Amino acid sequence: MQTQTKLEITPIASALGAEIKGANLADDHAPELIQDIRQALLDNCVIFFRDQELTPDQLVRFAKKFGSLDEHDFIHGMPDYPEVLRLVKEADEGGYNFGGGWHTDVSYMEKPSLGSLLYAVDIPLIGGDTLFANQYLAYETLTDAMKEMLDGLNCIHSALGIFDPKGVARDHFKNMNMNPNNKAEEEVAHPVVRTHPETGRKSLYVNVNFCKRLQGMTNEESQPILKFLFEHGRREIFTCRFQWKKGSVAFWDNRCVQHHALNDYQGHRREMYRVTISGDRPI
CB 77 within 8 A of CB 237: no
Is 259 a residue of the active site? yes
- Convert 115-154 to b/e letters by CB count within 10 Å (16 or more is b): bbbbbbbebbeebbebbbbbbbbbbeebeeeeeeebeebb
Distance CA 203, CA 219 (A): 23
Is 29 a residue of the active site? no
* CA triple 211-13-27, angle to 5 deg: 85
- Number of other CB atoms surrounding residue 95 within 10 Å: 13
**Annotated catalytic residue: which of 103, 194, 213, 269?**
103
Burial class from Cβ neighbours inside 10 Å (0-12, 13-18, 19+) for residue 99 reads buried
Is 234 a residue of the active site? no
Is 264 a residue of the active site? no
**Annotated catalytic residue: which of 105, 194, 253, 269?**
105
Question: Residue 220: what are its φ and ψ, rounded to 5°?
Answer: -65, -40
Which residues are part of the catalytic machinery?
103, 105, 259, 274
